[in-house]
Structures are given as C-alpha cells and as structure tokens.
Structure 1
Amino acid sequence: MATIPWLVDVLRSAGVQVVVEGDWLNRMRPGSFDPIGVLWHHTASTSSATNPHPALNICINGRPDLAGPLCQALVDYHGVFHVISAGRCNHAGVSRGSGPIPAGDGNTLMIGWEIDYNGVDQEMTAAQYNASIAATAAVLTRLGKDASHARGHRETSTTGKIDPSFIDLNVMRADVAAKMAGGTAWSSIVDNSTAGRFTASANWGVSSYSGQRYGADYRYADPVAASDPAWYRFAVPAAGNYRVDAWWPANSGYNSAAPYIVATTTGNRTVTVDQRVTGGQWRTLGTFALPTGDANRVAVSRWTTAPGLVIADAVRLTRV
C-alpha cells in the first residue's frame, strides 16, 4: 500500500500552516491507496474562533459506524491543516466517477480534506477556503495532476452527500488552476457597500436580514417593467476573458428570474438566476470578453416578470 509521507512538507512549502496530529505516518486504514486526486468535504460540525476544530477527534478516531481515520487532514476554522494520516482513510466511500476521477474505491483514489464547518447555516471561512486552495494546488502538483482532479464529495458520492456546501466547485477548480499556474489570477470583488463602485437608485432598499449575505448588508427592490439597474463598476486591467461570479442571499420570497447584465466588448449580455436558491456562495454567471478600462461592467436589473424581490449583493470578476 502506498503512502504520502511527503504531505506535511508539501503543505508547508505552499505556505499552509500545519499541525501534525500524533503518529500520522502510521495511522491509516488497511487496503489500497494510490491517490490521483483531492476530495473536499465538510464535517457538519459547527466551528468557531474559540472552538476551531470540533470534529478533530472524530476524524482521527472515527465513529461507532465508521472506523478512523476519516481524512488525511482536517482544516480548522482558522485555515490550519491538522494532518492526521499519510495513508488510506475512510472519507470517500464508493465513487460514482466525476471528471477524471473514475468510478471505484474513492478511498483508494483520493486524498481527503475535512473542512470543519456545519454546511447548513455555516459556510467555510475565507481562511479555510484559501488554505484549502493552496493545499490542493500543492498536492495536485506533487501528484502530477491538473486542477480537474480536485472534486467535491457531492460530485463523487453514490449516497447523495451534499458536501462541501456553499461553494461553487467549478470556481474552486478555477482557483486551484490559477494557483497551480504560479499565482492568483487578477480578481476583483465589488459589494453593494464598496465605495465608488456600486450605484443604485433610491428604489433599492438596504437589508441585513439574511445571514447568507456578503458583507454587512445587501440591496433589494421590487421587480418592474422598467430599466432601473444596480451597477457594479470595475477597473478591468486588460481586454480579455473574465469569469463573472455573483453572490446573493437566497430566500423563497426572492426572485426566480433575476436578470444580471454584463457589459461585454460586443454589447450587453443578460443572464437570469433563481435567487430563491443556492445563496450564500459564489455562483458563476459565465465567462465573457470584456474591454479594458474603469466602467460599469455588471448590473442587476429589476426588469423581470417573475415575482419576488430582486437582490443585488456582490459581484466578482476573475481573469481567465
């Protein structure tokens, strides 16, 4: 059975903070282990600044129904990697196949990160996400694999797993690819509260009702058959292709066909999204050709016949 005794050194070389948990080199499950990818999970435990790794003991020792270790590393609230095992772990179960990862024994095929957050009313912290991106990029580089070999458990599970919640896995892979390419691609976020970068009429109210919001608050307005967009202004550094991601809090009373307008090099493009679902995370609207310059580039429009409040929260551009 193969092992990955290089894991700690690779993580630390990537700038990831590491805590070694006991005899990690010899703590493993019996069976084959020949990893070709990295699998992201969430633990379903509620972590916090004062209780950053509530699931650590379970990940090391297992549960009554599943023997430990349950992952190669747990990622705590602060983004610290607690390295548990250099070998096979019970984290993936049977894989149905996803991307380049074939169907088969997921515990053989993939290294697992358990990111410690509950995934129901708690999303992963920025520290957890950034550390997991850096770690995944470093490990895939060591394995000689590209970013498509980073998967989420919900993509490979045969039993309906939902983890990791509140992230777009395509965005995750794009961020891993950028990291593997030698750095971070140009990216900029404009929130509804970003000074000088967001404009909206007085018809757009301000709310902090939803805990899924980006930042302190977000804007909302009733749908109307009129042009009254909320605009996001970006200083695009060079003409090229940019991925446009949007963040909104979801609620059953929000709009099912909220229009986003992207001002591209060839004119405005409109993408509609259902703001009743998939809130509290970055969702990709698409990749668009944008011109250079500092101008209004993305808008949320009120012009929709669908019922429910239209939400304007945050938008992100990333050079691809």
Structure 2
Amino acid sequence: MATIPWLVDVLRGAGVQVVVEGDWLNRMRSGSFDPIGVLWHHTAATSSATNPHPALNICINGRSDLPGPLCQALVDYHGVFHVISAGRCNHAGTSGGSGPIPVGDGNTLMIGWEIDYNGVDQRMTTAQYNASIAATAAVLKRLGRDSSYARGHRETSTTGKIDPSFIDLNTMRADVAAKMAGGGTGWTSIVDNATAGRFTASANWGTSTYSGQRYGADYRYADPVAASDAAWYKFNVPRTGNYRVEAWWPANAGYNAATPYIVATTTGNKTVTVDQRATGGQWRSLGTFTLPAGDANRVAVSRWSSAAGLVIADAVRLTEV
C-alpha cells in the first residue's frame, strides 16, 4: 500500500500552516491507496475562532459506524492544516466518477481535506478557503495532475452527499489552476450589503433575513422597475489589472430571472444578467474584467429588469487574477 510521507513538507513548502497530529505516518486504514486527486469535504461541525477544530477527534478516531482516520487532513477555522494520515482514510466512499476521477474506490483514488464548518448555516472562512486552495495546488503539483483533479465530495458521491456547501467548485478549480500557474496570491475583497461605508442603496431597497442562503446577517431587495436605482458596492482596488467578479445571492422562485449586475471597468460599464431564482447560497462568477485602481463604486445591482420577481443585492467579491 502506497503512502504520502511527503505531505507535510509539501504543505509547508506551499506556505500552509501545519500541525502534525500524533503518529500520522502510521495512522491509516488497510487497503489500497494510490491517489490521483484531492477531495474537499465539510465536517458538519460548527467551528469558531475559540473552537477552531471541533471535529478533529472524530476525524482522527472515527465514529461508531465508521472507523478513523476519516481524512488525510482537517482544515480548522483559522486555515491551519491538522495532518492526520499519510495513508488510506475513510473519507470518500464509492466514487461515481467526476471529471477525470473515475468510478471506483474513492478512498484509493483521493486525498481528503475535511474543512471544519457545519455547511448548513455556516460557510467556510476565507482562511480555510485560501489554505485549502494553496494545499490542493501544491499536492496536485506533487502528484503531477492538473486542477481538474480537485473535486468536491458532492461531485463524486453516489449517496447524495452535499459537501462542501456554499462554494462554487468550478471557481475553486479555477483558483487552484491560478495557484498552480504561480498566481492566486493576489488581492481579494468582499463587500456585503451590511459592510459599513462600502454599500449604498436608496430607500426603495428593503432589508430581509428571509432566506437561509444569505451571505451575512441579511440582504437587500427591491421590485424591478424601468429605471436603474442601483445598489452599489465600493472597492479600493489596489492596482489596475484583471479581477474576477463574483456575486452571492439567496435563490428563490419569487426572485428575479434577469437581474442586471453592472461592473465599472477601465473601458466603461459592462452588464451581466443572472437568474436569481437559482444557484443561490454560493459565489457565482460574473466574469473577469479589467478594473482601474482606486477607491470607487465598482459593482452594482440594477433594478432595471424586464423580468418579474424581486431583485436581490447581497454580497460581491473581487479577486485579482
């Protein structure tokens, strides 16, 4: 049975903070282990700054119905990788196949990260995401594979797993690819509708906590009209360059099917229309745009839509690429 004794050195070489948990080199399940990719999970435990890795003991020792170890590494609230095993772990079950990952024994095929957040009303922290991107890129380089070999458990599961919640896995793979190409270290910033001094909207925009798919404590909504009345997100862009623009909205059948997002680029405003009835509760890419440096309104949600349903303004993220 193969092992990956190089894991700690590869993670540290990528700048990832590592804690070694006991005899990780010899803690493993019996059976074959010849990994070709990396699989992301969430633990379903609620982590916090003061309780950053509540699922660590279970990931090491397992449960009554599933013996440990349950992953090669757990990623805590602060983005620290707790390395548990250099060998086969009970994390993936049967792979139904996804991308280049074939049908077969997922525990043989994949190295697993358990990211410690509950995935229901808690999403992974920025520190967890950034560390997981760096770790995945470094491990795939070591395996001689490209970013398509990074998958989420919900993509390979044959039993209806939903993990990892609240992330766009195509965006994850794009970020891994950028990291492997020497990028992915650029500036990133999130502006929520509640971010002080960074979000502006008229009194026509109401505030709601109705949807559990919201980013943060609440979000804004308004009826569509034949006028802009845009809600604006202000960013202090550090330098002129290319930035991926992503939006987060809670989805609902009563929301707008053609919501216009406006991006203020170096060559004028660009409009991207999205269907806010679907694919909510996660970051969705609007595209990559050249943005000018400076502190100014950069992204807006406009009410000028011909479709029925409420227009939603929740959160926007810019990432330098």
Interval containing the TM-score (normalised by the shorter chain): 0.7 to 0.9
2:101 is the counterpart of 1:77 = no
2:270 is the counterpart of 1:268 = yes
What's the TM-score, normalizing by structure 2? 0.86
Q: Give the secondary structure class of the aligned counterpart of 1:27.
A: coil
Q: Structure 2: which amino acid aligns with 1:272?
A: V
Q: Is the 8 A contact 1:230 1:312 kept in 2?
A: yes
Post-superposition offset of 1:59: 1.3
Q: Is the 8 A contact 1:117 1:123 kept in 2?
A: yes
Q: Structure 2: which amino acid aligns with 1:66?
A: L
CA 266–52 in structure 1, closer or farther in 2 if over 3 Å, else same: closer
Q: CA RMSD in A?
A: 2.8
Q: Structure 1: which amino acid aligns with 2:156?
A: T
Q: Structure 2: how far apart are the matches of 1:121 and 1:108?
A: 32
Alignment correspondent of 1:229: 230
Per-residue Cα deviation, 1:235-276 (whole angstroms, up to 9, x for no partner) = 484465x43210234567654543323456486333122257
Per-residue Cα deviation, 1:21-72 (whole angstroms, up to 9, x for no partner) = 2211111111111111110001111222332222222211222222221110
Q: Give the secondary structure class of the aligned counterpart of 1:102.
A: strand
For residues 163-312 of structure 1, the aligned pairs below 5 Å read 163-183=163-183, 184-192=185-193, 198-206=199-207, 213-214=214-215, 218-233=219-234, 235=237, 237-238=239-240, 242-250=243-251, 254-262=255-263, 265=267, 268-274=270-276, 278-279=280-281, 281-285=282-286, 287-290=287-290, 292=292, 296-312=297-313
Q: Is the 8 A contact 1:255 1:276 kept in 2?
A: no
Q: Name segments (4+ residues, structure 1) moved above 6 Å.
A: 208-211
Post-superposition offset of 1:308: 4.4
Alignment correspondent of 2:11: 11
Alignment correspondent of 1:59: 59
Q: Is the 8 A contact 1:257 1:275 kept in 2?
A: no
What's the TM-score, normalizing by structure 1? 0.86
Q: Structure 2: how far apart are the matches of 1:112 and 1:147?
A: 15
What are structure 1's unaligned runs of at least 5 residues? none
Q: Give the secondary structure class of the aligned counterpart of 2:101.
A: coil
CA 288–70 in structure 1, closer or farther in 2 if over 3 Å, else same: closer
CA 216–66 in structure 1, closer or farther in 2 if over 3 Å, else same: closer
Q: Structure 2: which amino acid aligns with 1:27?
A: R
What are structure 2's unaligned runs of at least 5 residues? none
Post-superposition offset of 1:225: 3.1
Alignment correspondent of 1:155: 155
Q: Is the 8 A contact 1:208 1:216 kept in 2?
A: yes
Q: Give the secondary structure class of the aligned counterpart of 1:134.
A: helix
2:106 is the counterpart of 1:106 = yes
Q: Structure 1: which amino acid aligns with 2:271?
A: R
Post-superposition offset of 1:188: 4.4
CA 163–223 in structure 1, closer or farther in 2 if over 3 Å, else same: same
CA 49–267 in structure 1, closer or farther in 2 if over 3 Å, else same: closer
Post-superposition offset of 1:292: 4.3
Post-superposition offset of 1:306: 4.7
For residues 24-63 of structure 1, the aligned pairs below 5 Å read 24-63=24-63
Q: Is the 8 A contact 1:210 1:249 kept in 2?
A: yes
Q: Structure 1: which amino acid aligns with 2:280?
A: T
2:91 is the counterpart of 1:91 = yes
Post-superposition offset of 1:193: 5.3
Q: Is the 8 A contact 1:251 1:277 kept in 2?
A: no
Per-residue Cα deviation, 1:262-309 (whole angstroms, up to 9, x for no partner) = 456486333122257622x31122x25546465654321113355543
Q: Is the 8 A contact 1:259 1:273 kept in 2?
A: no
Q: Structure 1: how far apart are the matches of 2:45 and 2:320?
A: 35
User: How many equivalent residue pairs?
Assistant: 317
Q: Is the 8 A contact 2:252 2:276 kept in 1?
A: no
